[in-house]
Structure formats: structure tokens, C-alpha cells
Amino acid sequence: MIEIIAITLWVCFTAYAIWYFTSAKHYVPLTPREARLLWKIHKQTAGCDSKRWREIRRGRKIVGFACECGYKYMQKRPIVASPPQPVVTQSMATIYQKLHRT
């Protein structure tokens, strides 16, 4: 009887841990410029005729937008996700110099 209870508790704990690490998310702040750009992309892809949008805020941070047509976008990221890696761009001159060193 005790073994069944222990197994059940471990199964519940494992299921919760899997849910937490894969589904639990938090809001990621956007700049007003990013929110406006995402709204313009929504208008183009959905063929939306709306003229206005509003910011969705959590606290003092913008986390999404709501369009007049009823569409809502909220920027979320899994809790355990690592931060995005910075994109490093190099000029052609720098690449050429690295390839042709003497």
C-alpha cells in the first residue's frame, strides 16, 4: 500500500515538473517600437483594416498589443528558456583580413 502511494506521488511530481519546464511561461517586455512593428505585421498578414491598436501592459512594461479587430498578441517565453544569443555581424573587410593574414 505504501509503495503505491509513493509511486503515485512520484508520478504526480514528475508530471508537474514536465509541465512546469515545458509550459510555464512569463511575460517578456517589448519596446513601443517593437509592439507597433508587430501590429503592422499583423495588419499585413491578416489583411486587417483597423486603424488603431493599444498596448497591453503588465505593471509598467509593455508585453503585447490589442488590435481593434479583436486580435491580441502577448509576448511570452518559457520560464526555463535561456536568453537569446547575440547576433554578431562582421564587415566584409574584417572577414577578408582574417582569411588573408600573412
Task: Please spell the DSSP secondary structure of 38-65, one letter per residue.
Answer: HHHHHHHHHT-----EEEEEETTEEEEE
**Is residue 16 one of the residues assigned to a domain?**
yes
pTM over 0.85: no
CB 56 within 8 A of CB 74: yes
**Is residue 15 one of the residues assigned to a domain?**
yes
**Is residue 60 one of the residues assigned to a domain?**
yes
Q: How many domains does the chain have?
A: 1
> pLDDT digit of tens for each residue in the chain (102 aa)?
788 888 999 999 899 888 877 777 778 889 999 999 999 999 999 999 999 999 999 889 999 999 999 999 998 877 666 666 766 666 766 766 777 775
**Is residue 95 one of the residues assigned to a domain?**
no
